[in-house]
Amino acid sequence: MALVNEHFLKLPGSYLFSDIAKKVNSFRITHPQTKLIRLGIGDVTRPLPAACIEAMHKAVDEMANAKTFRGYGPEQGYPFLIEAIIKNDYAPRGIRLDPSEVFISDGAKSDTGNIGELLRWDNSMAVTDPVYPVYVDSNIMCGRSGTQSEDGKWSNVTYLPCTAGNGFVPDLPAHRVDLIYLCYPNNPTGTTLTKEQLKKWVDYALANDTLLVFDAAYEAYIHDNNVPHSIYEIRGAKKVAIEIRSFSKTAGFTGMRCGYTIVPKELTAATLGNERIALNPLWNRRQCTKFNGTSYITQRAAEAIYTPEGKQQVKDTIEYYMTNAKTMKEGLEAAGLSVSGGINAPYLWVKTPEKVGSWKFFEQMLYEANVVSTPGVGFGPNGEGYVRLTAFGTHEDCEEGIRRIRNWLK
């Protein structure tokens, strides 16, 4: 008899976005003529940069020829992409990385979800609240989260509230924890940490022997000079942090699937016998066993982002979305709503008026303004009373969506 991993049975019944899809579908069935404006889900709308398309065509031609055909590639990723990442994303910020510290993946979701495999099931952990759901769910799956109480919280998870009161910047945990997930620029609140703020987390981790998983999927949206792009800009971070990045929102790779994870050689965790073990060889071993590499064609496309044309095209796309974010923020504020984010991140975190609950405001906006948002409470208890809007739509849809919301709230 095969016994099931019962931790899976503890997972929340259905995923936030499928609940939203169900509600949107029932609206569409009852209102077939109404055009909805979707400002909810964090998927991009702009096509891939032309440089990526060109690189892929070339790579496809290579695959068509026996002399240049590529089969399995290195599980860690091709050196051409790893070198481009080090040269463009890290070296200019004074961060030196060895190629063996960079692992190309099929995106940040897999890596944020899988990284916990390196750690014993009984480590304590902390997440910000609200939070990208993958961090908690992947820990529920291996039993690390403990048991769930009536308020939905897990016994072995420390929740770090991000509220209007603290400017959506969480306080350090009041006690020591083994593992902390941080995401900056943040999904869903759109906030960032300055260098001084991020340094506090690195210092905490160094003082408490805590492992930080730093999800920088939205790094490309950073605009302000005092916001670090990488956690390794903070001294000592290589001893305590894994950094995870994605090409999804940087260059429209949501359907292509490519990202990368940095596991520095200095980074260690302990055995019960207090021996220090480097995590880099463990992640390498894990990837070699369970992952057979991102496709050659995709990695060539990712490499093209770092060419002069690719860089310009990526910049243009990000500017496109951030112009949306500005229009949306200004329009929502003019409608009397309180909005954070949207400056160094493509997300707007919008306070619902008059203490209306997240789901209620979501439904009102859907039925009365015909705009789709994401209920903030879906990201954690402290998301109650908020909705998240994304700037990833077309200019036209973002303008129309905000016009509808303004008319509705008049």
Site residues (vs ligand PLP, CB under 6 A): 42, 107-109, 112, 132, 183, 187, 215, 217, 246, 248, 254, 259
Cα separation, 331 vs 333, in Å, equals 5
Smaller CB separation from ligand PLP, 76 or 374: 374
Smaller CB separation from ligand PLP, 97 or 183: 183
Place of tokens 């048991």: 147
φ/ψ region of 38 (left if φ > 0, alpha if ψ in -120 to 50, else beta) reads beta
CA distances from 169 to 26, 277, 345 (A): 36, 32, 14
SS3 (DSSP) at 103: strand
CB of 246 to ligand PLP, least distance (A): 3
In the beta sheet, which residues pair with residue 243? 214, 262
Cα separation, 395 vs 382, in Å, equals 30
CB of 116 to ligand PLP, least distance (A): 14
CB of 288 to ligand PLP, least distance (A): 21
CB of 302 to ligand PLP, least distance (A): 11
Q: Taking the mean position of all CA atoms in its chain, how far away is CA 143?
A: 23
Smaller CB separation from ligand PLP, 259 or 331: 259
CB of 284 to ligand PLP, least distance (A): 20
Smaller CB separation from ligand PLP, 191 or 370: 191
CB of 130 to ligand PLP, least distance (A): 11
Smaller CB separation from ligand PLP, 305 or 369: 305
| CB neighbours of residue 19 within 10 Å | 16
Output phi, psi for 258, to 5 deg: -160, 140
Smaller CB separation from ligand PLP, 241 or 335: 241
φ/ψ region of 209 (left if φ > 0, alpha if ψ in -120 to 50, else beta) reads left
